[in-house]
Amino acid sequence: MSHQACALVAGYPDLMARLDAQRRYTFVNEKYAQVAGIPKNQLLGRMAGQVKFSKKWLRSVQAAMDAAAQKGQTQKLEVKFAKQWYDTSIVPECDGSGNLISYMIFAHDITEIKQTQNALKQKQKQLAESEGRFRTVLENSLDAAYRRDIQTDAYDYVSPVIEQITGFLPEEFRAMGTDEILARIHPDHIREVERKLELIQNSDGSSGVLEYAFKAKDGDYRWLADYFRIIRDQQGRPLYRIGVMRDITGRKETEEMMIASLNTAQQRAREAEFERRIIETVINNVPEGFLLVDARSLSVLMVSRHLAEFAGKDQEAFKNISLQQYCRFLNVAGMNGEPLAFEQMPIWRCIQKGEVVVSEYYRLTNNKGQTITVLVNAAPVRDANGEIIRGVAAWRNIEPLQQAEDKLRKSRDAARAARGKAEERRRILEAILMSIPEGIAVIEAPDGQLRLVSHYYENFIGISRKELHATSLEKRMQHYAAMENGSNMPVALEQTPSWRALKNGEVVMNEEWRMARPDGSQSVVSMIAAPVLDDRGEITHAVTSFRDITKSKEMEATLRRREFEFRTLVENSPDVIVRLDPQLRCQFVNAAYERMTGIPRERCAGRTCRELEMPEAYCAILEKEAGKAMSTGREINTEFGFRGLFEQRYFWGRLIPEFEPDGRVRSVMMVARDITERKKAEEHVRYVSFHDSVTGLYNRAYFEEEIKRLDTGRSLPVSLIIGDLNNLKLVNDTFGHEEGDRLLQKIAEILRKTCRNEDVMARWGGDEFAVILPDTGAAIAGSICSRIKRQAELSNGTAVAPSIALGFAEKSRTADNIYMVLRQAEEQMYENKLAESRKNQELVLSSLLRRLRVKWPGLDRHVERTSELAQRFAEKLGFSDSQMEDLALFIRLHDIGKAVVPDDLLSKCGDLSSSEWEQVKRHAEAGYRITNTFGDTARIAEAILSQREWWDGSGYPRGLKGKEIPFLSRMFSIVDTFDTITHHRPYDRVFTRQEAMEELQRHAGKQFDPALTEAFVEFVSASVH
C-alpha cells in the first residue's frame, strides 16, 4: 500500500483498533490511544479488559465481540465514554477455514450530533415558551416590531404601533412591496438605505441600524430608526429581517437645530464610536471568560484571566466577593440594551433554580464603559445528594479550536512516523471498505486515478473494482453520465464533487444527487467530498463518499404531501378548528377561527382564551369542557357563543382528546360548527310567538300566560291597566294604515317610558292595550295611568295626537278572581272613554288644524276673512240661529281634510299633474270622515264633503249638481272662491273686487248657484258703496 494511504489510515479522525482472537490489542490509531489515555506503544499487547474504559462501555463492547464471534457478522452499537458518544462497529476477521483470527473496532464520534439534537429540542421548547411573552411585549411596545421574509420580499408580521408611527394600519403596511416602501423613503436617504441593507445581507453581518425619513400616510416625513437583525440558515443565507422601528423625528429636529454648534463634538463622538466598535468587534469575536460561584454563600470562587482583564481588575480582586459586588464590575444587559435584573442572570438562575443555560446572548459592560456581546453557557454543580454546591458560567472560547488544529498537525506527523506498519493498515483499510455501508472512493492527483473503493460502491453502481481501477477519471465519469442534480441534463465533469475536491480543493458536504443504478432505476444519494493535503498544503488525493437516501426522500415527500392534504382540508373547512395544549393554550387555529373572531392566528399561538381577551362566558365553558376532555380522555359535546368580528355567533362543538404513545392526553382538538342562523331562527320563532309585530310589545297569548303565572300570593298586590286607543279607525281610514301603525307604535313607546322594567305590557287587541303591575297597589297604578296620559299629551310625530282611555283595578287578596279584576279595569276604561269623548274630539280637531296651519300658514287669516264675509252674507239671506252656528262650525273645519294633502302640493306654483290632482281631491272625503266621526260635527259632514261640487255636476267627489248640493256648500263655495282669488296665492295672480265679481258671474250656472251668485254680487256691491 502507498505511504499516502497509510497516512490516511493513521490520521483517520475516527477511533480504530485491531484485537487478536484472544482480544489483545495488535493495532490502534492515534485517536483511539488519545481517547483511551494510554500511549500507543503501551496499549499494544494489552487485553481489552485491562484498558480503563467505563464499565458500561466495556460490557457493551465485550457483548458485541461475543456476538460477532458467534455469528461471524459485523455488530453495531452506540456507546458513551468520557462524555463522548461513539457509533461503534465490531468486525470479525476469519481465515480461509472460517476460524476467527482477529476483531476490528471502528468508532465514529457522534457527540456533536447528539448535542445538536438535544440542543434543538431544548431550543424549540424555549422558543415555544417565550413566543407568547415576546409577542405580548411587541404588541405593547412604543416601538413598531416587524419581520420581513427576505425570500418572498414581504412583511409577514407588523405590530399595531406602526399605525401611530406612520399612519398605516398593520395590514396596509404588510401589503407594501419593496418598491412602495422605497418610494416613501426620502430621496436623499434611499441609496444609503439600499447600500447598508445589501452590505449586511450579502456579508456575514447579522445586525444593523438604519435611520431615514419616511413619508407617513398624511404626507409628512417622519424620521425612523430601524434596528434590525438578519436571521440566516445554516449555510449563512439570509432568511428574515426582524427589527423594531422607532419614531426619532423629535430627536432629529433637535439635532438639526443644534448641528451648527455641535460639529466638533459630533466628530469626536464619531471617532469614539469607531474606536468603541473596533474594541467591541474584537471582544465579540474572542469571547473568553469563566466564572465559578459558591451556591451557599453566593460568593465568587474563581474568574478567568480574560474576564478579569476585561473588568479592569486583578483576578485576586474577585476572590470571595459577593455576586452583587461582581455585578458592579460587569453590568449585564439584554440584547436590546435593557438592564438585566439580578434574578435573570444566568449564574443566579443555575444556582437558585437549577437551570442549565445553553447558548444565551447578553451584553457585558465594564466600569470603563466597554461593551461586548457574549454567548453564555451556565450550569449547576451538584454533590452526591443532588444539592447544588457550585454554579459555573462560561463564555465561548476559540482556543479549543486552535488546540484541535495543533493536535491534527501532530497526528499527521505521527502518521508519517508510522509508515512501517503499512501492511497492517492496508488490511485495516480494506476491512473498513468492505464493511462500511457507504460508497467510498479515494482518487489520486493529478489525473484522478482510482486508488481505493469500497465494496458498497461496487455493488451500488454495478461495476467491478477491477474495471474501475483500469479506467481513467475521464472514462469513469462516462459511467456517471446518468448522474443528475435536480434536472435531466447530463452533468459536466467539472461539476462533480470528485473533480471539485481534487482540482479546486473544495469541501463538499451532503450534496443531494441522483445516481443511475444497474437495473435502470435512479437513487437519491447524499455526497461528501474533501481534498487530502500534504505538508506543503498541496492536494494529493480526494476522498468521496455517498449514502443512499432514496427512502428518506420518498418518506419526506410522502409526509409533505400528507401534511399538505391535511392542512388544505383544515384551512378550507368552514368549521372552526382549534388545538389546545394541557394548559389550554392555542397550538393551532384554522382560517375559519380567524374569520369568526377577527384575531390573527399568529397572536393566538401559545395563548389561552383569557389572554386573547375572549368573553368570560366562552372562557368558562371552554375551560370546563376542555378540562373534562383532558381529565377523562373522552369526547365532549358542547354549545357556546361569543361575539365575533361582526356579531354574536353561536357554535356546536366537539372536543376530541389526542393521546401520547403512553396513553396520556397530549392535547384537545375542538371542531365547532356555526349554528348562529339556527339559533336566530329559533329566537325569531320564539319572539314572534309572544310579541306583537307592529308595536313590539307582548301579544295577548303571552299576556294571558303571565296572568296565570302571576296569579299567586307571591306577587300581591297586583294591579291591571286596560287601555283603548282613541281615533285609530279615523287615522286608518283618513291617513292610511301606515299612519295608524305609527300611532300604535307611539302609544307602545309611551307605555315603555312610563312603566317599569318588571311590568308586563301587551297589545290586548286591535286598539286595546293591557299592563300587569306586579307588587303594585291601586294608588301606584293610578299614578302610572296619569303619567301615561301626560306623556300622550306631550308627544308628537303622529298625524293625530295620541289619546288613550285607561282603566285600572287591583287584586289585593289571594281569593280575588284575577279575571274579575281584569273586567273591572275594562269597565272603568269604557266609562272614562265615554266621559272623555268630547275632550278627545277637541284634541283630534285641534291637532289636525295645528297640522294644517304648519302646511298652510295663511289658514287663520283665510278663516277669519271668510267667517266675517259669510256671516254678513248669511244675515242678508236670513239664516236662523242654528244655521248661523252650523255656518260658523263649517267655516272653521271646511279645510280640515287638507291635513292629508302633501305639503309640497298645497304650495306648488305650477300646474298639478293628474296624479297630484288626485291626491289633492282626497281632502273632501278626508274632511267628511273626520267630521262624521264625532257627534258634534256630524251635522256639517255632508256639507264639507260637497263643498267642491259644481252646479253643472262636473265637480268632485260625487258629481252632484244643482240643488242636490247642500245649500251650505253652495253658499260657502261662492264666499270661499271670492276670498281666495282676491288674496295672495302661489299659483295665480290676485284679482280686484270688480274682477272677482265678474269671474263669479262668468261661472254662474256652471260652477256656482246662479241665484246665490247674483245675490252675493249685489251684497258685495252694496257693501262697497
User: Grid coordinates in use for 689?
Assistant: 310567538
The 10 Å CB-count burial string (b at 16+, else e) for 460-489 is bbebeeeebeeeebeebbebbebbbeeeee
User: Grid coordinates in use for 342?
Assistant: 439580578
Check if the beta carbon of residue 793 is closer than 8 Å to that of residue 781: no
Across the beta sheet with 508-516, the strand order is 449-453, 439-444, 539-548, 522-533, 508-516
3-class SS at 108? strand
3-class SS at 969? helix
Pairing of strands 760-763, 718-725: unpaired
Among candidate residues 602, 603, 610, 599, the one with its CA nearest the CA of residue 576: 599
For the residues of 19-43, what is the DSSP string, one character each?
Answer: EETT-BEEEE-HHHHHHHTS-HHHH
CA distance linking residue 952 with residue 974, whole number of Å: 15
Distances (CA, A) of 245 to 147, 362, 484: 11, 21, 46
CA distance linking residue 145 with residue 848, whole number of Å: 68
The 10 Å CB-count burial string (b at 16+, else e) for 151-168 is eeeebebbbebbbebbbb
Phi, psi of 817 (to 5 degrees): -80, 120
DSSP state of 691: B
Q: Is 754 exposed, middle or buried (0-12, 13-18, 19+ CB in 10 A)?
A: buried
3-class SS at 369? coil
Check if the beta carbon of residue 293 is closer than 8 Å to that of residue 391: yes
| From 548, 767, 895, 1009, the catalytic residue | 767
Q: CB count, 10 Å around CB of 552?
A: 12
Check if the beta carbon of residue 690 is closer than 8 Å to that of residue 699: yes
CA distance linking residue 67 with residue 231, whole number of Å: 49
Check if the beta carbon of residue 765 is closer than 8 Å to that of residue 722: no
Phi, psi of 809 (to 5 degrees): -155, 160
Q: CB count, 10 Å around CB of 746?
A: 20
Place of cell 464493511: 435
767 is catalytic: yes
Distances (CA, A) of 213 to 23, 226, 263, 736, 862: 77, 11, 21, 67, 75
CA distance linking residue 31 with residue 788, whole number of Å: 105
DSSP state of 699: -
CA distance linking residue 259 with residue 254, whole number of Å: 8
Query: Where do runs of H (alpha helix) occur along 37-168?
Result: 40-43, 55-71, 111-140, 162-166
**Cis geometry, peptide bond prior to residue 582 (ω within 30 degrees of 0):** no
Among candidate residues 337, 336, 356, 335, the one with its CA nearest the CA of residue 346: 356
User: C-alpha angle 818/823/826, rounded to 5°?
Assistant: 130
User: Grid coordinates in use for 277?
Assistant: 466598535
Check if the beta carbon of residue 797 is closer than 8 Å to that of residue 746: yes
> Which residues are identified as catalytic?
767
